[in-house]
């Protein structure tokens, strides 16, 4: 089975060539060697591109775009129990 990304290729190469590392991560060395043999002649320039865009990531991008277009909200006035805004005097508290 060939590697799907440069990161996976490097990981499997480390496993195939270093028995201590293979034991540490819990992957048999034979698996790393199989991946290395399958990767011969293959280049990993882009890393691992997604075939389909992730719909969750698209939703987040739309929300960020919409948030950047909205004007900032003004600070809210302190409210009294009756629901009427009470204006503060210079240095005073709204109670």
Give me the half-sphere count of Cα atoms (radius 13 Å) on the Cβ side of residue 51. 1
Tokens of 22: 């293979």
Q: Domain spans of the chain?
A: 6-66
Strand (E) or helix (H) holding 47: none
pLDDT at position 65, please? 84
* pLDDT tens digits, one per residue of 5-28: 888 889 999 999 999 999 999 999
Whether this prediction's pTM lies above 0.95 is answered by no
Regions in the chain scoring below 50 on pLDDT: none
Closest CA to 80 of 91, 58, 95, 92: 95
Would you say how long the chain is, in residues?
95
């Amino acid at each position: 089975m060939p590697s799907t990304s440069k990161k996976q290729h490097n990981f499997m190469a480390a496993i195939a060539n270093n028995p201590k590392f293979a034991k540490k991560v819990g992957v048999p060395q034979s698996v790393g060697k199989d991946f290395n043999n399958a990767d011969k002649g293959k280049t990993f320039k882009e890393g691992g591109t997604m075939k389909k865009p992730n719909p969750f990531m698209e939703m987040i991008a739309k929300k960020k775009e919409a948030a950047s277009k909205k004007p900032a909200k003004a600070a809210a006035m302190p409210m009294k129990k009756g629901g009427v805004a009470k204006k503060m005097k210079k240095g005073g508290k709204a109670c």
